[in-house]
Amino acid sequence: MDSTSYSSPFLCSVSDAIRVRHYSRKTEKAYIDWVKRFIYFHNKRHPREMGAREVTAFLTHLAVDRNVAPSTQNQAFNALMFL
């Protein structure tokens, strides 16, 4: 997946940062997906406007409302920490 295929300049910059660090394409795809979910969960607010409270709310939503596995929560957490 080419970083220019993302419609958002922000997602392009995240993709570029991931590639500079030589993360795998699967990791890039997963992280971009988690970042998108995080943004949509918070009504399309820009991640620069959000902090620890929003990250906690999102991860709590995954654990309590979506009942995702701990490893999935960890992947989401790592993607958000990458930001």
Domain assignments of the chain as residue spans, ordered by start: 7-82
Q: Model pTM?
A: 0.90
Integer Cα distance of 40 and 11 in angstroms: 13
Residue 8's SS3 state is coil
The topology under which CATH files domain 7-82 is: DNA polymerase; domain 1 (1.10.150)
pLDDT at residue number 1 = 55
Integer Cα distance of 14 and 82 in angstroms: 9
Integer Cα distance of 74 and 15 in angstroms: 20
Helix 52-60 and helix 25-41, axial crossing angle in degrees, nearest 10: 100
Contact indicator for 23, 59 with CB cutoff of 8 Å = no
Q: Give the DSSP H/E element, type plus range, for residue 80.
A: helix 70-82
pLDDT in tens, 13-33: 999 999 999 999 999 999 999
